[in-house]
Structure formats: structure tokens, C-alpha cells
Copies of this chain bind each other. A is one copy, B any other.
Amino acid sequence: MPASVTHVYRRHIRFADTDAAGVAHFSRLLVIIEEALHDFFQSRGLPILDAATAWPVVSIHADYSSGCRFQDEITVSLSMDKIGTSSLGFSFAAAKADGSACFGGVATLCHIDPALHAPAPIPEKTRNALGAGSV
């Protein structure tokens, strides 16, 4: 596996992302992290939603540095840190023009065995598309 696979995703905070404190709701920033993840998968030609899976988030953690306001541009830097047997681990940092917004990590499952309803090994072609290859 390469030392580091990084992906950058950008979008602005929309009005419906904000809350009555005047900033993006913490849950909406995590939605933006998921968008970054999906953007990464799409950039690798991987299907995101099909009969077997939807790359479910199985673990997430985030620390919030500073509020993001309506129309702020958010830049998410996503690093694929770990390719497990059946899951991927990413770290992320989201920044706005004047500094950090939040940072953390997220893990996602690749493939749910439709018969077993349980995580299945990441298929070889998916590993290859992710730049991980076989070892």
C-alpha cells in the first residue's frame, strides 16, 4: 500500500447546513466529510451504492476547531490511512479560509455479504482501484 493516498474535496456551506448558532451544524460537517469520501471513490471509478453495499460509515470521530459560517468554502483533505480486510480507514482535516474547521477520522465498510449480512473481504479489483493492490 502506498505511504499515503490523499484526496481533496471542496464545497461551500449552504444555508440548510447552518443552525441557530449561526454556524454549520456539527452533523452537517460530517455529511461534507462523507461527500469527500464518495468523491474519492468516484474518482477511482468505484460504485458507491449497489446491491451489496453503500460504504456504510462504521466509525467516526471529529474535533471541531472553529465554526463554519454560511457561504464559507470548506476544503476537506482526506487521507486513506488503512486498508483492512473488509474496511478502510481515513483521516480528514477540513479547513476554511481563516483556519481549521474540524479534523478526525472515519472508517467505512466496503462490501456486505448479501447472504451473511456481514462484512466481506474487499474484492481484489476494489483494492486495485484504491491503489492498494495485493501484497
Contacts and interface: CB of A to CB of B under 8 A. Distances in A.
Q: How many copies does the complex hold?
A: 4
Dominant SS among interface residues on chain A: mixed
B54 A64 contact: no
B27 A28 contact: yes
Interface residues of A, number: 36
A14 interface: yes
A113 interface: no
B30 A30 contact: yes
B27 A20 contact: no
Interface string A14-28: 111011111101111
Nearest to A67: B56
Given A19-B54, A20-B49, 9 more contacts: A14-B35, A14-B38, A15-B34, A15-B49, A20-B22, A21-B54, A26-B60, A30-B30, A42-B71
